[in-house]
Structure 1
């Protein structure tokens, strides 16, 4: 099981890389394919939306087929296939198609490991193990910064994507061989998605799940690159690296806090308030100097990593025989929210930019929107019952 989890963690490194690497590829894709920021927002959004749409069938497959087959087959067909399509793309539309396919491939990886954690480990360890998996996977977030920038400069973005397609295919085959499914449950209990939707607590968690990760993922994966170019006159490499490190630190910081402080809910509440404050500080001071701006982006990234704690909170209300569907339902809202707001922010950026000569105005609109979303999602979450078991 350890080797299988290690392979799933490595696959999640690729998942984190693919969701964030467009920020660094913005300049070469604009030069070679004529891709605009709105095109890249659409492509990034499609990654998240297809990833989210896959959570319903992935949840069914995890409960019925197990994580070995579900993760390896989709990662091979979608992950390797999408990267190969990206490598030969001739237009922004083909980049969007490739990103959608990669989203399908990455969709079962983290949930496969979370399913194993829910079925094979004590409930009290779920948040810590989940945070550890995301923290390790976030190496991919870092790989999509300065290292990717250097590699693209050395061999070009097409050769880079072709090599990624080959490595992804090899990893998928290794997962098929070594990932182990948890033992079958000795129960006659049945159920499905509708049973989960009858749990009132989940309805109070889902709005915050929808928006909690969107600012950190949207800024790190897409908008920090254009912002640095348009407002700071800098390339994105250093800024994305620092923000990526802050996101890793945030993930590990959140992991054990529920056990240390005896609460999940109020840790999430405090982190969300701080994340909103970071967004609103960027809105208030969009022309801050380079390092102040990077620090504020990092605040959003650090406090935007409450995902594993929120997943553990939601998992506590879900019966064991619906563990696969439970974790994927929550993931649908989290990743779907990122995809949705990637597209929304792309439209907002284009609309504001068309109505002003100010380089900074489109970004102040985005920062204000992200801050407002966090506050809106937090309000219903305030009424959910705290639960640690």
Structure 2
């Protein structure tokens, strides 16, 4: 049997489709463990006596600070050693701490368990981007990254619906035990099937040593498109993570749904809207990417169109209309993943991809994941004396203009992206 090869004839150690499928599976567990907390917020708050601000800390800063910062050194290690091994170890680590969330008896215990989840997940995403960059040629890379990023809506939906079903029929603690245990079980299969591509810069040139974090940062520092895309993604993620986390609680409070009803609503929006938007973004980027400006321009258009539709969904009192309206911006606000993640891969040499992706994720997650969930919780607490159970609705509406800010930053990135782009030989 001959080994698989890419379009350039380069020999690959495994089939690209199998590798992508396994990376997607791990990413599903990444977001399953991360976002399951959103549907479990109501029973956790009732059991442990937590406020919206405290839940915001658990969903945001407790997870995001070390997740964002450790991703950079862990990705540098992955660039120098084995990307697949780093991901495998990370999977086991975050899954174990997910299970530990189920034994927490107070705020500090579950806070520390969430910190552990964040530490583990720091080693998962950026090395996966780099492996995809190794296995897929440029003309297919945006689509491959979009398929990988389906882990976000699928994992979030499975976490919300699976966690909601277990919590409503058994107990919220069991949901953490089950999901954490499943993640540990798939780790051996992942390491067996996902192999690192030998490091080469071209078909003729031997691999060069990986660049240091400082060297990669200095390269990116000279590229305006990177910073506009990173902060544009970060501001959009403040709303994406924030609304995604608080949507089940918003539905329970404002529409009087039970836990399972909120799980079905949220999971349905994530699956239908999220999967559609993710695939559309990657496919369009590959088709329009001959003009590099479209990589940030597509997300800009999506953010600006999606914001007012999101506002209409939040303001309506009709559950059916809210579902239909949420589908559109849910899709539009996932368009950015394929185009932007591909663009970041092309701002540096192949040997620096994991580190560059980690620096991008540091900005995106520290601001977006760390700030969005907590900020919406704090705003909700501030509004609660005036608006009562409607405080989350008003909190979301207050934050929606951030999508316009994200769109403007992406448009600014389109002005310099062609100049900053590194073409592969």
TM-score between both structures, scaled by the size of structure 1: 0.90
Among 357, 365, 374, the alignment partner of 1:327 is 357
- Is residue 211–residue 338 contact of structure 1 (8 Å, CA) maintained in 2? no
Instruction: State the match for 2:326 in structure 1.
Output: 297
CA contact (8 A) 2:307 2:404 kept: yes
* Alignment partner of 1:232 is 2:259: no
Q: Which residue of 2 aligns with 1:217?
A: 241
Aligned-partner Cα distance in 1 for 2:171–2:383: 33
**How many residue pairs get matched?**
383
Distance apart, 1:209 and its partner CA: 1.7
For 2:391 and 2:100, how far apart are their aligned partners in 1? 35
- Aligned-partner Cα distance in 2 for 1:54–1:171: 23
Which of 42, 51, 55 is the matching residue for 2:67?
51
Q: Which runs of 5+ in 2 are unaligned?
A: 1-13, 201-205
Cα distance between partner residues in 1 of 2:387 and 2:350: 55
Deviation (angstroms), 1:214: 2.8
Distance change >3 Å, CA 153–CA 274, structure 1 → 2: same
Residue 207 of structure 1: CA displacement?
1.6
Aligned-partner Cα distance in 1 for 2:375–2:151: 30
Q: Alignment partner for residue 103 of structure 1, among 80, 99, 118?
A: 118
C-alpha contact 2:311 2:397 (8 A) present in aligned 1: yes
Q: Cα 1:373–1:125, aligned 2, differ >3 Å: closer, same or farther?
A: same
Task: Say yes or no: does 1:383 pair with 2:412.
Answer: yes
Whether contact under 8 Å (1:7, 1:171) holds in the other structure is: no
Which residue in the other structure is 2:190 paired with? 175
Question: Matched residues in 2 for 1:187 and 1:382: separation?
Answer: 35
Partner of 1:253: 280
The alpha carbon displacement at 1:233 in A equals 1.0
Change in 2 beyond 3 A, CA 1:140/1:14: same
Q: Per the alignment, in what secondary structure is the counterpart of residue 38 of structure 1?
A: helix
1:116 is matched with 131
**By how many angstroms is 1:362 displaced?**
4.2
Q: Are residues 1:13 and 2:28 paired? A: yes
Q: Helix, strand or coil: the match of 1:360?
A: helix
Please say if residues 209 and 330 of structure 1, whose CA atoms lie closer than 8 Å, have aligned partners that are also in contact.
no
Aligned to 1:196: 220
Shift in alpha-carbon separation, 1:87–1:66, aligned structure 2, 3 A: same
Which residues of 2 match residues 248-327 of structure 1 at below 5 A?
Answer: 248-262=275-289, 263-282=294-313, 286-305=315-334, 306-327=336-357
- Distance in 2 (alpha carbons) for counterparts of 1:199 and 1:261: 22
Is 1:81 paired with 2:81?
Answer: no
For 2:50, which of 18, 27, 35 is the aligned residue?
35
Deviation at 1:287? Answer: 4.3
Runs (4+) of structure 1 exceeding 6 A deviation are none
Cα distance in 2 between the residues matched to 1:144 and 1:130 = 21
The aligned residue for residue 93 of structure 1 is 108
Deviation at 1:273, TM superposition (A): 0.8
After TM superposition, give the deviation of residue 166 of structure 1 in Å: 2.2
What is the CA-CA distance between 1:359 and the residue it aligns to?
3.0
What is the CA deviation profile of residues 162-189 of structure 1, one whole-angstrom value per residue up to 9, with x for unaligned ones? 2223222222233334321121232446
Q: Retained in 2: the 8 A contact 1:33–1:92?
A: yes
Deviations 1:123-166 (A, max 9, x none): 22221001111225532222123333222233322223222232
The question of 1:64 aligning with 2:91 is answered no
Instruction: Tell me how far apart the structure 1 counterparts of residues 114 and 54 of structure 2 sit (CA, whole Å).
Output: 12
What secondary structure, in the 3-state scheme, does the structure 2 residue paired with 1:255 have?
helix
If the length of structure 2 is used for normalisation, what is the TM-score? 0.83
Deviation digits for residues 238-264 of structure 1, max 9, x if unmatched?
221222121122111111102333432
1:103: how far off?
1.9
After the TM superposition, which of the residue ranges 379-388 and 174-183 deviates more from structure 2? 379-388
Cα shift readout 1:211-257 (whole Å, capped 9, x = no counterpart): 1233222212x211121122111131222122212112211111110
1:349 positional shift: 1.2
- Is 1:164 aligned to residue 193 of structure 2? no
2:219·2:348 contact (CA, 8 Å) conserved in 1?
Answer: no
